[in-house]
Chain A
Amino acid sequence: MQHRRRPWAALALSLALAPGLAACSSSGTDAGAPGTAAGTATTYDATTPAAEQTDAVGAGMEVLDAWTAARPDPAANSMTGVFGIVRNTTNQDIELVSATNTASDRTELHQTVTVDGKSVMQQVESMKIPSGGSLVLQPGGDHVMVMNLAAPIQVGDTVTVTLRTKDGQSLEFPAVAKQFTGANEPYHSPGSTGMGTDMGSHMGTTPAHTP
């Protein structure tokens, strides 16, 4: 297994070296580092780590290990993130420009950045996946943001997400809802106060839920 784990190790290293993400990677310690946009730090060209299951294939992409954080009480928190690995299997770069989901009417592509020493997430116009590379969507990093939830997403439910590329292709994949206490970065919307309501923690400092 060691050889299969190395891409993850390399990814962790690249996260640690990217100042903007160090604060919200699970191994990050320098939460006060000045922030920059995520850029391409969450993509890598190494072999994609072995996944148990490829959740979807199409539009030159593969989606692996997709999941979303369950939201049993949308009144308390009407946003959630969708995470996983999006692999570009073509010999050309792919640009994701939008997404939709079956649980709400509003979906955004987000990155996590550090503003005034705090991890916040903000919408981006697009996400680039280099040829042969992968985009890692994870709490504290890039992710697909599901907003305006009207109905609960219970643990075990499946949310269907559709990614759309700049050249008009799309790929639909299921994301199973798991118990998760992290991924609560405040929502930073340039030009507004933009902070979420039930925040105060992010993955850099919050231990994972332990039943």
Chain B
Amino acid sequence: MSTGPGRPSRRVILGGSAALVAGVGGLALGPRRGTDGADQVAVGSAESSAAEMVPYHGPHQAGVTTPQQAHATFVGLNLRRGADKKAIAGMLTMLTDDAARLCSGRLPRGALESTSAAAVANLTVTFGFGPGLFAAAAVPERCPEPVRAVPRFGTDALDPRWGQTDLLLQICSDDATGLAYAQRRLLRDATHLASVAWVQRGFVDRGHEPGSPADASPRNLLGLRDGSANERDPQQLANVVWSPGPGAMAGGTQLILRRIRLDLGRWDDIDTLAKDLAFGRRLADGSALSSPAGTSEFMPINREAVDADGFTMVPPNSHAARAQARTGAERMLRRAYNYDDGVDAKGDPDAGLLFAAYQADIATAFVPVQRRLAEADALNTWSTHVGSAAYAVPPGVAPGEWVGQSLLTAAVRGPGV
């Protein structure tokens, strides 16, 4: 916690530039959806449709730095016994073909619908590989070590039901019907070789709060704005998430997916000030407690700030203070979704957060941050990690390739692959 008096702020250390964000952030991150559509001009159906398409092909998989869509489904699959590299390649070839078509509004190969079955609505399909897939493909050493070695944390209450799988499909869309269609079509080309271990569905909402900024982070079920600390400068964000290589993971990323169950009934029964102090930010607007109320949520937390009486303004055990990156390598892109999977007989919801975070290296980002949170985080009173899975997210796909092709099949692993 103690830092020298001359130590620059996190934002300065990390090199983020507010001016740069304002200038090119939206462009480089792709089309930012407005909250009311006022910033989008309706120019005919073809153009409107194109504006709602996220290119599938490219140097990185979509669905990571893509502006967060409203709906997400994470599907964890385990390879059937006997699945080998050839069979995996065949499955991934079909899935890549399906994903490219679905994300561009084309029917999957073999679909009989006479028109596109559902809106594209910024559909993205992102593939992640677990250690078991690398092993089945006879290249276990190519699975990044941090994906294989996520440690246990003291506060974990992990249920194997939500555990590690060999393959992950992350499907995101602003259209729940289109997402359901995509999921169905993708699973058609996967279930011959892999069985579904779990499906975790999530949602976020933005733009429904009168007076809130258009780019306000969505609220989680605790009512807290989630993701305020994400890098907004595209170059910084790229540094955070994309693997620099060497090797065939260059341009890929690592995903940690944690299912965090929330005790919402008890949380609802504490007052707002107590919530603000537990979070380290204000419930109302997400502003850091080290800044005056009404300050942008994107102004970083200052953990050293003290008030007139000399008291630390952000409680050291507040979530935002504990979670704040201490070094550049601790940064990650949080892209969490809420889940709400019904209620039990007593009326208690099975609800919480699908904490999905992307980073170049889980070992230097999620792990130290989560270790700090497990040691002490005021929100631990109301939150329990019940699921955990980590994936290598291969780099993007060029036309004619299948996802993960070079990662699984390149003869020589080395720089420049």
Query: Which A residues contact B (CB, under 8 angstroms)?
Result: 1-5, 8-9, 11-12, 15, 26-27, 50-53, 65, 67, 70, 72, 83, 138-140, 154-157, 176, 178-180, 182, 203, 208-211
Contact = CB atoms under 8 A, between A and B. Distances in A.
A2 B49 contact: yes
Given A2-B45, A52-B106, A156-B94, A208 B112 contact: yes
Interface residues of B, number: 33
Contacts of A210: 184
Contact of A11 (B87, B114, B193): B114
B66 interface: no
Contacts, number: 87
Contacts of B101: 52
Nearest to A8: B114
Interface of B: 45-46, 49-50, 53, 87, 90-91, 93-94, 97, 100-101, 104-107, 109-110, 112-116, 120, 184, 187-189, 191-193, 196
B45 A180 contact: no
A12 B97 CA distance: 24
A51 B111 CA distance: 12
A156 B94 CA distance: 7
B46 A3 contact: yes
Contacts of B49: 1-2
B105 A156 contact: no
Contacts of A53: 97
A1 B120 contact: yes
A70 B116 contact: no
Dominant secondary structure at the A interface? loop
28 contacts: A1-B49, A1-B53, A1-B106, A2-B45, A2-B49, A4-B105, A5-B115, A9-B115, A12-B115, A52-B100, A67-B109, A67-B110, A83-B110, A140-B112, A156-B87, A156-B90, A156-B93, A156-B189, A156-B192, A156-B193, A178-B109, A179-B188, A179-B189, A203-B112, A208-B112, A210-B184, A211-B184, A211-B196
A-B pairs with the 7 shortest C-beta distances? A156-B90, A12-B114, A155-B192, A1-B105, A211-B187, A67-B110, A178-B110
Contacts of A72: 192
B46 A1 contact: yes
A176 B109 CA distance: 9
Nearest to A83: B110
A208 B108 CA distance: 13
Contact of A179 (B93, B97, B191): B191
A39 B100 CA distance: 34
A52 B112 contact: no
